Amino acid sequence: MTNTMIDLYTDATPNGLKISIALEELGLQYNVHKGLNDGANTSPEFTAMNPNQKIPLLKDGEVIVSESGAILYYLAEKSGTLLPKDLLKRTKVIEMLMLQMSGLGPNFGQLLVWGGAWNNEHPVATQRYAQEVNRLFNVLNTLLEGHEYFAGDEYSIAPILSG
Ligand SMILES: N[C@@H](CCC(=O)N[C@@H](CS)C(=O)NCC(=O)O)C(=O)O
């Protein structure tokens, strides 16, 4: 593992916290940059690193990675931990990664916007995302049944993503 100082552009959001948890679990040193203050994420400097203008973003020397799932995957590969070696177990962790990034994350985000930030102005939209989030919570409960963590009994990036 290279020992360059990691720079984390983040904020107190669910996606941002995933990366802080992983870095702390791995005991890696890192500098934190507030990513959403005063339009920091739309500044020319930040946009040059991530044209999508979203946090979290991780800079590790020459390596610049955005998307919380991709960052967790990078940190797992870099450290050689948090991903099972066995192909099937590893694939189950990737399955959880995909489910979180494509299902839970976006739907929960929409629920917070329609139901919270926009004061439930359009109840039908809030209801649509609330239903989907509840459905996904039931899926998570089922996936946890009989297992220590999401995606099996080995600690990995899966519980960090979904916790
Ligand atoms: N799929 C992305 C989502 C990133 C995302 O939506 N970040 C939000 C904060 S959690 C953001 O940067 N919002 C600022 C904006 O949209 O201007 C990930 O998992 O990293």
81-89: long-range contacts at Cβ-Cβ below 8 A with a sequence spacing of 24 or more?
81/26, 82/22, 82/25, 82/26, 82/155, 82/156, 82/157, 82/160, 83/156, 83/157, 84/152, 84/154, 84/156, 89/151, 89/152, 89/154
- Do 50 and 57 touch, CB atoms closer than 8 A? yes
Statement: residue 23 has pLDDT above 70 = yes
In the chain, where are the structural domains located? 6-79, 87-162
Residue with token string 């979290």: 56
**Residues 9-18 pLDDT 10s:** 999 999 999 9
CATH number of the domain at 6-79, please?
Answer: 3.40.30.10
Residue with token string 């409960």: 141
User: Which residue of 9, 43, 55 sits with most ligand 1 atoms within 8 Å of its CB, as the best mutation to test the pocket?
Assistant: 55
pLDDT recorded at residue 25: 95
Statement: residue 2 has pLDDT above 90 = no
**Residues 32-87 pLDDT 10s:** 999 998 999 999 999 999 999 999 999 999 999 999 999 999 999 999 999 999 99
Statement: residue 155 has pLDDT above 60 = yes
| Ligand 1 lined by 54 (C-beta under 6 Å) | yes
| 87 alpha carbon – ligand 1 mean position (Å) | 30
pLDDT recorded at residue 1: 57
Q: Which of the four pLDDT bands, split at 50, 70 and 90, describes residue 163?
A: low
| 51 alpha carbon – ligand 1 mean position (Å) | 12
DSSP string over 135-163? HHHHHHHHHHTT-SBTTBSS--HHHHHH-
User: Which residue of 18, 46, 54 sits with most ligand 1 atoms within 8 Å of its CB, as the best mutation to test the pocket?
Assistant: 54
Q: Which of the four pLDDT bands, split at 50, 70 and 90, describes residue 162?
A: confident
* Average of per-residue pLDDT across 2-11: 89
CATH number of the domain at 87-162, please?
Answer: 1.20.1050.10
Q: What span, in angstroms and rounded, lies between the C-alpha atoms of 107 and 66?
A: 20
**Residues 93-145 pLDDT 10s:** 999 999 999 999 999 999 999 999 999 999 999 999 999 999 999 999 999 99
